[in-house]
Amino acid sequence: MLKGNTPREDIEAMRKKWLEDERRAAAIKGIILFLLLVFVSCADSAEQKLVGEWTGTSSSTGLPITLIFHKDGTYTQRWSIQTRNDRVDKVIENNDSFRTVWTVNDKVYPIALDILSIDATTGDTLRYIPYIIRFFPDGRLQMRYTIKVYPSTPGTKRPERIARPKEFAVEKDARGQILLERRR
């Protein structure tokens, strides 16, 4: 018994204190849940991080390359090749005859990125490039790829299983691997 209280008053005082403690605990849980939701919703997905223009140097040619991942899932690539006499700039852009699209799966590690060139009239896959990618804390993007070109005959579909690289090469300039910096 509390000093000068009846047993009934003591029980009522303990009940009020218990209710206050429960309310305080519920408020703290609510604040923690709110902060957790804000933190999770602010984290960028791989898709959000990838959208934009990336530049680097081709590991196979040593010449500049630019990759542009558009928000609508389309893709543009600009690169240079060296001929015997001079350097020639090339561009892959979407047009009336084909579309180049990309998808990313950040539920796996390393992150999987697929780039497909699709015949705009038939829907056939003309080219499929499976990549693995990773983002560095300093904002750079590393990509490793395997190229498989399919015959462009009507009705040709890509097989279900395509060899995707499993890991990144130790050498930073290994063939099929590129390090890019965000341009915009």
pLDDT in tens, 3-59: 677 878 878 888 888 888 888 888 888 787 766 655 544 457 999 999 999 999 887
Beta strand pairing status for 111-119 and 98-105? antiparallel
Query: What is the pTM for the complete model shown?
Result: 0.66
Identity (one letter) of the amino acid at 178? I
- For residue 130, whether the previous peptide bond is cis, meaning omega lies within 30 degrees of 0, is no
Q: What is the spatial distance between Cα 154 and Cα 152, in angstroms, rounded to a whole number? A: 6
For the chain, the average pLDDT equals 81
Q: Do residues 54 and 141 make contact, with C-beta atoms less than 8 angstroms apart?
A: yes
Distance CA 121, CA 100 (A): 13
- Please give the Cα distance from 104 to 97 (Å, whole number): 24
Instruction: Convert the pLDDT of each residue in 104-163 to its tens digit.
Output: 999 999 999 998 888 888 888 877 888 999 999 999 999 998 755 555 555 555 555 568
Q: Provide the pLDDT for residue 40.
A: 47
In this structure, what are the phi and psi dihedrals at residue 84, rounded to the nearest 5 degrees?
A: -60, -35
Measured between alpha carbons, how far is 102 from 46 in angstroms, rounded to an integer? Answer: 12
Residue holding tokens 């009507």? Answer: 154
Residue 61 has pLDDT above 90, yes or no: no
